[in-house]
Amino acid sequence: MTPVTSSGITAADETHLERAVALARDARDSGDEPFGSLLVTPGGEVLEAVNNIVTAADPTGHAETNLVRLAGRLDPAVRAGSVLYTSTEPCAMCAGAIYWSGIGRIVFALSSEQLGAMIGKPALRLSSREVFERGARPIVIDGPAALRSATEVHAGFWN
């Protein structure tokens, strides 16, 4: 098992998380579930993705998996030095995709436990940390970050 480490959430991280939440709002406004993610490379390139499971009729169309597909064109060393920011903690499927992509750090706003409490049920009782801890490479994960907007984007959606 590989230890999952934390480096702490900075003000710059919070700015990127706010963008991820704005992407989640865009997904919701488009008729999809409110989840958004972005990847920031060491060189400052930014890739963005939203959840599109409804509009694309793709149950794997979570924001993080869509982002991993976009990041696949990047050099593996670039992915390893990149940070994935997401509005909500990655589910087990997304955590697996992130792990296999080689992305080096994940930062999330709303935890899966917090989301489960809002919707009344957890989707899958397996945290991203548990997935990453089973891997053979180190990964840094930071979250949850206390952002009011990350909770607000879900308000009234799951009723």
Q: Which residues are catalytic?
A: 64
Q: Are 85 and 121 in contact (CB under 8 A)?
A: no
Q: Are 52 and 66 in contact (CB under 8 A)?
A: yes
- DSSP-assigned letters across all residues of 25-89: HHHHHTTS-S-EEEEE-TT--EEEEE--TTTTT-TT--HHHHHHHHHTTS-HHHHHT-EEEEEE-
- Token pair of 154 as six digits: 């879900």
Tell me the C-alpha to C-alpha distance, in Å, between residue 81 and each of 34, 76, 147.
27, 9, 25
